[in-house]
């Protein structure tokens, strides 16, 4: 069947249209749109009516377009920003009223498991092979260790590129003491979080807007191409080199870099530092970039079995 899966993140809304066959999915359309939810929560614990209306209209437009392209059904999931908003129930109801579809608010552990499922969905993995997936989002970071195609123990922490930028960076560009404070805070939190995974000699698959952006900047891509970004390697040296390039530059200048996605310039430094500190805490030196993630996992979880029996 042809169906859509929509992931409402802290910075962006990612929409997938895919067709299933034998439990797999073939991507027909994959798009990303800045949603301003993380920015809205900088002003207070609730989404403003304007921000909710903007996002409901965005969802309605995506659903309308995908129905024209043959979508028979949809699944919509929301993560950290919506989890933390005091008026999340109002947002859910608005989506139901206007779009006509339910909005599922996904827990951190559910997000980790679904992201694992999506991230490995186009990889050849042995049933007994151990794999770790790391998802660096705007509002939270998830890590899940799996065996073959089955996700296992997962970890979630409320640190992400948008949250960290809002919490630690007052000046533009951030001053040296602000960057140092961010690094110190992350080292204190992440060391405890990843203690059980430290030093694992397994493939590490990296997911999320920060990771994809860093891969594009490293390779000099001016436009997002999933076929080239997916499967590329990011090392700790790559991240250090990019951080050095970002430091001391205002957000407007970073946004002008070729290949920088819209809205990413303000938060890319915090995201890159988060990735570097994850590498440090885990005692790993590299990871494999996946262009897939939560939206693919949502699709497979809801429609994958149905596709097998068509």
pLDDT of residue 93: 97
pLDDT of residue 21: 67
Q: What is the rounded average pLDDT of the residues 281-304? A: 94
Cβ burial of 82 (10 Å; 0-12, 13-18, 19+) is: buried
pLDDT of residue 309: 36
Looking up tokens 């007994």, which residue turns up?
A: 128
Q: What is the rounded average pLDDT of the residues 2-31? A: 90
**pLDDT mean across residues, the chain:** 92
Q: State the pTM of this model.
A: 0.90
Is the per-residue pLDDT at 191 higher than 90? no
Is the per-residue pLDDT at 95 higher than 70? yes
What tens digit of pLDDT does each residue of 68-88 get? 999 999 999 999 899 999 999
What tens digit of pLDDT does each residue of 144-188 get? 999 998 999 888 888 999 999 999 999 999 999 999 999 999 998
Where would I find the H helices in the chain? 37-40, 49-68, 80-84, 88-99, 108-119, 161-168, 176-193, 209-219, 226-229, 236-246, 251-255, 268-282, 294-299, 305-308
């Amino acid at each position: 069947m042809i169906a859509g899966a929509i992931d409402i993140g802290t910075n962006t809304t990612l929409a997938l249209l895919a067709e299933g066959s034998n439990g797999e999915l073939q991507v027909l359309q994959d798009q990303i749109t800045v949603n301003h939810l993380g920015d809205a929560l900088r002003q207070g614990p609730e989404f403003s009516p304007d921000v909710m209306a903007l996002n409901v209209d965005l969802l309605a437009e995506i659903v309308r377009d995908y129905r024209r392209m043959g979508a028979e059904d949809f699944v919509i999931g929301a993560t950290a920003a919506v989890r933390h908003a005091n008026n999340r129930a109002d947002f859910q109801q608005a989506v139901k009223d206007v779009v006509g579809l339910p909005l599922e608010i996904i827990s951190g552990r559910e997000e980790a498991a679904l992201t694992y499922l999506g991230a490995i969905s186009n990889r050849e993995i042995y049933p007994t092979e151990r794999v770790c997936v790391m998802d660096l989002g705007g509002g939270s970071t998830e890590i899940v260790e799996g065996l073959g195609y089955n996700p296992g123990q997962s970890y979630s922490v409320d640190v992400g590129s948008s949250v960290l930028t809002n919490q630690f960076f007052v000046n533009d560009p951030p001053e040296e003491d602000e960057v140092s404070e961010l690094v110190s805070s992350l080292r204190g939190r992440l060391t405890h979080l990843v203690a059980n995974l430290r030093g694992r000699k397994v493939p590490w698959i990296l997911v999320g807007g920060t990771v994809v952006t860093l891969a594009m900047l490293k390779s000099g891509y001016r436009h997002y191409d999933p076929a080239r970004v997916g499967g590329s390697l990011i090392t700790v040296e790559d991240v250090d080199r990019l951080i050095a390039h970002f430091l001391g530059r205002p957000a407007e200048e970073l946004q002008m870099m070729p290949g920088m996605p819209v809205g990413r310039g303000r938060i890319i430094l915090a995201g890159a530092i988060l990735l570097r500190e994850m590498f440090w805490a885990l005692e790993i030196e590299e990871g494999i970039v996946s262009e897939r993630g939560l939206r693919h996992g949502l699709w497979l979880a809801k429609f994958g079995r149905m596709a097998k029996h068509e």
